[in-house]
Structure 1
């Protein structure tokens, strides 16, 4: 289901892709060039899974990895942090970074710092389309979310998303595509590709900004049944609006995640002012 990068390759900023192995951080050819730290993280994942660094052993120090990869310390630190976030390694003061597991923890953990992380999220998971239909908007809340007028005809795509590490769906999604793009073709071979990327490819549109809102909700009986969870159990409601350069909403999506299957991680850094 997923392709894994087997080597970080500097020439041309591209990577060779192998179907013979799988990793919990997937780099696929549909994505643009990935940050260097993600390429190094992929290599370390592959080396752990190949047995080079068995469970219980320590991986090289940051200094040693900098030397091996010819990379800066900040790049190496970010790469190792990805493995920590996946639950594959643990950092221990005075001991080093110890391999904890050969694969990521069961619940999906999304790290969000830039738009490419949304692309990686869809590359790491698979979309299962439940229905696609054009419909006239009549729900005031949906119209408000989409900045649309009642009666406009948008493409409504209903789906569930699955992660390799979880037997049950990790979320249910209602996506709404602007009327200008409602003829969007969703091919079976593109279910690791974000809908907004499909829009960009098929219509020459460009997403310039993503607005995101998160809140806690209780699962409705309908969605609980689709994701195999208990009705009224806790869930995370994530709404995203994808805007073009003119500020128009190209796509709006409401994702509902059962609380025990999804972790959202965001990193904030202090902006230091020079003395």
Structure 2
């Protein structure tokens, strides 16, 4: 029997397929210790491409539910996803994918006058009026948020619309669409922090526990700052993986 997987609202098919497989593992259809159907069998069952199946299974591997073994197949390790979300990065487009795989619940937004301290961070002048947006990010595998996020949008773009409610689209992608611009560079800084009482309370974590702070600066083709985003993650709910590829030849 073929079950056609659709992708309403622009959500990638492989994420829908991953959710279906997770639910079927939880229900016992694919028991712990057993094998998932082969890639070709899943393609036939769901009416999707092999690429979609591979990406869906990759999501299960990232959640620690499945392991792949050449010549054997995809074996079920557990019927519950691990509690930690891993973000894999190899380029700017992965930031857009991260937004699809998670949801940002916007709690509020306001126009703010930049003070001297924030001006240094934003490379702006005191008195400039930026749009401040804040919220909490969730995944399907977590009841508690994986991070809190504060986003600052530069004055020329502060009238952006659609930054509200539950978002599964990257803020920078919304800015690109509405203002006909292109983000060319993202500077990222990651450092360890200790969660203070207020931050821990919002995240449902223990004050004084370890966290990760990610700062991202989104620049356009003229190297102008369009968006500055700060996310703070509880260390036990988030990890970061980045791929590097050798692009030079080693002398013989």
TM-score normalised over the length of structure 2:
0.79
1:86 aligns with 2:66: no
Distance 1:57 1:164 in 2: 24
Distance 2:100 2:18 in 1: 18
1:17 aligns with 2:7: yes
1:244 aligns with 2:220: yes
Residues 186, 217 of structure 2: 8 Å contact kept: yes
TM-score normalised over the length of structure 1:
0.73
Distance 2:85 2:32 in 1: 21
1:258 aligns with 2:234: yes
1:137 aligns with 2:137: no
Q: Deviations over 1:99-153 (max 9, x none)?
A: 224563222221112222212222222222222111111143x333322222211
Q: Which residue of 2 aligns with 1:110?
A: 87
The runs of at least 4 consecutive aligned structure 1 residues that moved more than 6 Å come to 39-42, 67-72, 75-79
RMSD: 3.4
Distance 1:70 1:138 in 2: 52
Q: Which residue of 2 aligns with 1:235?
A: 211
Residues 174, 254 of structure 1: 8 Å contact kept: yes
1:164 aligns with 2:140: yes
User: How big is the shift at 1:249?
Assistant: 0.7
Residues 14, 55 of structure 2: 8 Å contact kept: no
Counterpart of 1:57 (choices 3, 14, 34) is 34
User: How big is the shift at 1:200?
Assistant: 1.6
User: How big is the shift at 1:202?
Assistant: 1.9
User: How big is the shift at 1:71?
Assistant: 6.5
List gaps (5 residues or longer) in structure 2: none
Cα 1:245–1:6 shift into 2, 3 Å:
farther
Superposed counterparts of 1:119-138, under 5 Å: 119-138=96-115
User: How big is the shift at 1:177?
Assistant: 0.2
User: How big is the shift at 1:83?
Assistant: 3.3
Q: Deviations over 1:18-68 (max 9, x none)?
A: 6xxxxxxxxx51x7xx7xxxx668656645644675432234678x79x99
Aligned length: 242
Q: Which residue of 1 aligns with 2:151?
A: 175
Q: Residue 150 of structure 1: SS of its match in structure 2?
A: coil
Q: Which residue of 2 aligns with 1:220?
A: 196
User: How big is the shift at 1:160?
Assistant: 1.3
User: How big is the shift at 1:183?
Assistant: 1.2
Q: Residue 135 of structure 2: SS of its match in structure 1?
A: strand
